[in-house]
């Protein structure tokens, strides 16, 4: 793992972040988008954020993001945000969350599978360009 700034991934991170904000604020009334799509996209947001600053193995990063996402979800099961004294509505309360859902974990898995497939597609496309 090496540190290297990537403008491409940083700009993607900003774009995806704005999509997440849009989902949380303007599209929150559309159940599927708010409940599922946001959780699929958030793992992609984490991926592009890390890739903005690090050169790291893609598969290990995707697995790490899945593990991290599941850890946060299980923290919700144990009401960690409340136990740490975060006020409802505060940034940290929103980040950690307060309601556990197995469906959220399935959404994280779906997002990571999509990421993996995209990364594999891009890798094979890059190899084809070399030949």
| Whether the predicted pLDDT of 131 surpasses 70 | no
What would the mean pLDDT of 55-62 be, rounded to a whole number? 97
pLDDT digits (tens, 9 = 90+) for 67-87: 999 999 999 999 999 999 999
- Residues 118, 36: Cα–Cα separation, whole Å: 19
Least confidently predicted of 58-62, 113-117, 125-129: 125-129
- Residues 131, 127: Cα–Cα separation, whole Å: 7
- Residues 117, 49: Cα–Cα separation, whole Å: 18
* pTM for the full predicted model: 0.90
């Amino acid at each position: 793992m090496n540190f290297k700034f990537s403008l491409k991934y940083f700009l993607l991170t900003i774009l995806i972040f704005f999509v997440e904000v849009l989902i949380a604020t303007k599209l929150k009334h559309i159940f599927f988008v708010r409940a599922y799509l946001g959780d699929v996209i958030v793992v992609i947001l984490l991926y592009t954020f890390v890739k903005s600053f690090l050169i790291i193995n893609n598969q290990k990063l995707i697995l790490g993001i899945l593990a991290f996402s599941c850890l946060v979800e299980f923290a919700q099961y144990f009401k960690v945000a409340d136990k740490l004294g975060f006020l409802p509505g505060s940034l940290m309360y929103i980040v950690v969350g307060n309601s556990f859902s197995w469906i959220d974990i399935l959404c994280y898995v779906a997002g990571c599978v999509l990421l993996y497939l995209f990364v594999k597609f891009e890798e094979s496309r890059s190899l084809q360009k070399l030949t």
